[in-house]
Structure 1
Amino acid sequence: MQIVSYKIQQFSFKLKHSYRFADAIYRDRPINIIALKDDLGNVGLGEVEAFEFPNYIDETQRQCVFSITSRIMPLLGSKAYDTPFEFARFINSTNAPYMARAAVEMAIWDLFAKRNGVSVQKLMMLAVGDNSATKSAVNVGVAIGIKDSASDVIKSIQTELDQGYTRIKLKVNRNYTVKMLTEIRTKFPDILMMIDCNSQFHLRDKSFFQNIDGLDFAMIEQPLGKKDFIDHAKLQAQINTPICLDENIFNSEDVWKVINRHSAGFINMKLARVGGIANALALSALAVNHGLQVWCGGMLETGIGRAYNLALASLDYYRFPGDISASDRYYQQDIIKSEFEIKNGKIAVPQSIGLGVELNDHAQKKFAELDWIKI
C-alpha cells in the first residue's frame, strides 16, 4: 500500500459541562482529525488525542500536528507498506510524539481494513490470531470529574446509572477524604466502582489508601507520580486494592517495569498514549501473558477515536469495562453520522468495512475546504 496524500483538520468542541481532573479544568476540546488517501483512492481517518495543554502527559495538539506535517508525512510516501505492523515499525522509528504516531497509524489500520474488506475490529482480531466471531457490543463505564462534595458526586453517579452505565470511575484529588469516599460507597455499595488519582498523591499519603482499602474499589488508578514505578510497588505491597497505571505506560520497557517490580495489577491501555494500535496490541499481550489485566481508557474522543477504542475493547485481552461513553455525553454534536448510544451498559462495536463510521455533513464540509496535500 502506498500513501499518496493527506489532509488534517482541526475541530473545536465545547463540552456540555466543564470536566475537572487533577489540576486541570476542561471547557473546550480542540481535536485534529487526519485523513490519508492510498493509491487505490481509499481514505482512512485518525484522531490526534492530545490535549491543548500538557496536563495529562507532555504532548499537545499543536506539537503533534507539527510532528505529523514536518516529520511523519514527508517520510510516509517514500515507500510502500504490506502490513500495518510494517508501518508501525516505520512510525516508531520517527521518534515523533506518541499521540502524533497514533493518529497516523489509526488511519493506516482503517485503510488496510478497507483494502482487505474487513472491519478494523476484525483486522485487530486477525492480527492477534483470533479467528472467532466478532463481538457486537462491549461493556463500558464512565468517568466522573472532580466535584466539590460527596452529595455532588452522588448526584452525578445516579445520573450516569440512570443513563445505563454500570461501571463508575471517580476522578479524585487531595480534597477527597476517607469520609467522603465512604459516604459515596455506602450510597452505592454494589456498583462496580474505581478511583483515578491522576498522580495527585505521594507515598507519604499511604494511610489514605490503607483507610479506603476496605471500600471495595475495583482499582486505584495512578495514585502516585507519572514517572514512578518504585513507590507504586511499595504502595501496592501495603494495600489489597489493585493499583492501575496509566500516565507512565508508553512502551514495553514500562510494562516490564510493572511486571518485574509488581507496581500494579492493571494497566489502562490508551491507543494514543502508546503510539497506536500495533503497539497497544503488543503491550496488551505482554501484560496479560504476565498476569496483569488491561482495559481501554478514554481521552474525551470524537466518534473517530471512540470507534477505535470500541474495536480494541472488544478483544479478549479486555475483560474490564473501558472508559468509552456514548457520543452525546460530552459534546452537543459529534463529527460522525451515526452516534454511539449506550444500551444496557453496552455500546455497539462498528461492524462494517473499515472503521465503520462516517463523518457527518458538517465535518465533511470542513474537510472539503482543504486541498489534498501530496506526499
Structure 2
Amino acid sequence: MKIAEVELRRVRLPLKAPFRTSFGSQSERDILLIQVTSDDGTRGWGECVALSAPLYSSEYVDGAHRVTRDFLLPRLWMLPDVTAYGLEAALTPISGHRMAKAGLEMAVLDAELRTRGTSLGEHLGAVKARVPSGVSVGIAESIPALLDVVAGHLDEGYSRIKLKIEPGWDIEPVSAVRERFGDILLQVDANAAYTMADATLLAKLDAFDLLLLEQPLPEEDIRGHAALATQLQTPICLDESITSARAAADAIAIGACKVVNIKSGRVGGLLEARRVHDVCAAHGVPVWCGGMLETGIGRAANMALAALPNFLLPGDTSASDRFWRRDLVTQPFVLRDGHVDVPTGPGLGVEMDEAWLDEVTVSKECHAAESL
C-alpha cells in the first residue's frame, strides 16, 4: 500500500460533564485525528489519545501533533510499501512519543485492513462478538453526588464501576459506594497519586473486596509497587508503568502487579498492545482495556482489542453517550445488557459523521511526500 496523503486534524469536542481525576479536570477534549489516504483512495483514521497537558504522561496533544508532522511522517514517506508492521519498525528510532506513534499506526492499520476487507478484531485475534462494559467515575464534589452518579451508571446497565481516588478522597467514598450498592464489581484508580508512605492507608481498601487497585504509585516506581503488593490483599494493577511488553514482563517478574491495564496509545500502538496481552497471558496475568476519553475512532480500536482472549475483566469500554452528546462516528457505540458490540466491518469498522466532524474541527493540514 502506498500513502498519497496524510491529514492532521484537530477537533475540540465538549464532554457531557466535566471529568475530574488526580491530574486535573476536563470539560472538553482537544483531539488530534490522523487520516491517511492510499493511492487507490482508501482512507484510514487514527486517534491520538494525548491530553492537552503532560499530566497523565509526558506527552501532550500539541507535542504529539508536532512530532507526527515533523518526525513521524518523513519516515512514513520513506517506506516503498506501507504496512502497519513496516511503519512500526520505521518509527522505532524515534525515542518515546508512543501516543503519537499509536495514532499514526492506527490510521495506517485501518486503511490497510480496509483494503484487505478484514476487521481489526479479526486481525488482532478477537474471540468475542461483544465485550463487558465498565465505567470510570471521576472524583465528585461530594459523596452524595458520587452515589447519584454511580446509581445512574448501574441503572444504565454497566457491569463494573471504577472510582478515581486521590489522597483525601479514597476510603470514605469507596466505603460509601460499597455500603450503598453491595457486591457490585468495584475497583479504584489512583493515577499514581500515592507514595509508599501511604501503604497503611491503602491497606484499608482491603476491607472493600475490590477487583483491583490501579497504579497507586508513580510510573517509575516498579520496585515500590512490588513492595506494596506484599502489604495488601487487594490486587495491584499497573497502568502508567506498563509502556511496553518488556515493561509488563519486568513488572510481572518482580511481583509488582497481578493485573495489567492495556491502553494501546500508552504502549505505542495496537501491535504492541497485542504483545502486552500475549506476555500477560503467558504468565497467567489477566488484563483489561483502559480508556482515555476516546471518540468512536479510538473506541472502535478498544473494542477490538478488548475482544482478545486474555481480557478477562470488564474494561473502560463504555458506550459513546457516557462522555459525548454526539460522537464523531455515524453509529455510536451502545450499551446492551452490560456489553458493547465489537465492530465487524473492515478496518476499525466505523464511519465518520463528516458534517459533525467539520463542525468541531479547529484546524486541518494536509501533507504529501512532495510537501515534506
TM-score bin, normalised by smaller chain? over 0.9
The aligned residue for residue 109 of structure 2 is: 109
How far did 1:353 drift? 1.4
Cα 1:39/1:22, change in 2 over 3 Å: same
Instruction: In structure 1, give the amino acid aligned to 2:57.
Output: I
Kept after mapping to 2: 8 A contact 1:81/1:87: no
Bigger mean CA offset, 282-291 vs 50-59: 282-291
SS at 2:133 equivalent = strand
2:18 aligned with 1:24: no
Cα distance in 1 for residues equivalent to 2:294 and 2:368: 28
1:58-88 deviations in Å (ceiling 9; x for gaps): 1000000101100011121212346432322
The aligned residue for residue 59 of structure 2 is: 59
Runs of 4+ in structure 1 deviating by more than 6 angstroms, as ranges, are none
How far did 1:372 drift? 4.1
Instruction: In structure 1, give the amino acid aligned to 2:76.
Output: L
The aligned residue for residue 373 of structure 1 is: 367
2:69 aligned with 1:75: no
SS at 2:183 equivalent = coil
SS at 1:206 equivalent = helix
After TM superposition, the score normalised by the length of structure 2 is: 0.94
Identity %: 32
Cα distance in 2 for residues equivalent to 1:75 and 1:205: 45
Instruction: In structure 1, give the amino acid aligned to 2:367.
Output: I
How far did 1:210 drift? 1.6
The aligned residue for residue 357 of structure 1 is: 350
SS at 1:31 equivalent = strand
Instruction: In structure 1, give the amino acid aligned to 2:166.
Output: N
Cα distance in 2 for residues equivalent to 1:209 and 1:45: 41
Cα distance in 1 for residues equivalent to 2:300 and 2:318: 11
How far did 1:250 drift? 0.8
Cα 1:7/1:57, change in 2 over 3 Å: same
1:272-330 deviations in Å (ceiling 9; x for gaps): 01010111111111122112221110000010000000000011121111101111121
The aligned residue for residue 337 of structure 2 is: 344
Cα distance in 1 for residues equivalent to 2:83 and 2:5: 19
1:5-48 deviations in Å (ceiling 9; x for gaps): 11011110111211100030111210011101122221110001
How far did 1:364 drift? 5.4
How far did 1:235 drift? 0.8
Instruction: In structure 2, give the amino acid aligned to 1:121.
Output: G
Aligned CA-pair RMSD: 1.7
1:176-202 deviations in Å (ceiling 9; x for gaps): 253442222111221101000111111
The aligned residue for residue 12 of structure 1 is: 12
Kept after mapping to 2: 8 A contact 1:2/1:38: yes
Q: Aligned pair count? A: 367
How far did 1:254 drift? 1.6
SS at 2:344 equivalent = coil
SS at 1:343 equivalent = coil
SS at 1:299 equivalent = coil
The aligned residue for residue 188 of structure 2 is: 195
SS at 2:86 equivalent = helix
Q: Give structure 1 stretches of 5+ with no counterpart.
A: none
SS at 2:136 equivalent = strand
1:128-152 deviations in Å (ceiling 9; x for gaps): xx7xxx5321111000000133222
Instruction: In structure 2, give the amino acid aligned to 1:16.
Output: K
Q: 2:275 aligns with which of 282, 295, 299?
A: 282
2:33 aligned with 1:33: yes
The aligned residue for residue 122 of structure 1 is: 122
Instruction: In structure 1, give the amino acid aligned to 2:24.
Output: A
Cα distance in 1 for residues equivalent to 2:303 and 2:321: 16
Instruction: In structure 2, give the amino acid aligned to 1:67.
Output: V
2:218 aligned with 1:228: no
Cα distance in 2 for residues equivalent to 1:197 and 1:63: 25
How far did 1:118 drift? 1.1
Kept after mapping to 2: 8 A contact 1:4/1:77: no
The aligned residue for residue 46 of structure 2 is: 46
Kept after mapping to 2: 8 A contact 1:45/1:110: yes
Instruction: In structure 2, give the amino acid aligned to 1:277.
Output: L
SS at 1:226 equivalent = coil
Instruction: In structure 1, give the amino acid aligned to 2:169.
Output: Y
2:126 aligned with 1:142: no
The aligned residue for residue 299 of structure 2 is: 306
Matches within 5 A, 1:229-248: 229-248=222-241
Q: 1:172 aligns with which of 150, 162, 165?
A: 165
Kept after mapping to 1: 8 A contact 2:296/2:320: yes
SS at 2:40 equivalent = coil
Cα distance in 1 for residues equivalent to 2:307 and 2:103: 20
After TM superposition, the score normalised by the length of structure 1 is: 0.94
Cα distance in 2 for residues equivalent to 1:156 and 1:357: 29
The aligned residue for residue 155 of structure 1 is: 148
Cα distance in 2 for residues equivalent to 1:364 and 1:148: 32
Cα 1:332/1:357, change in 2 over 3 Å: same
Cα distance in 2 for residues equivalent to 1:244 and 1:276: 20
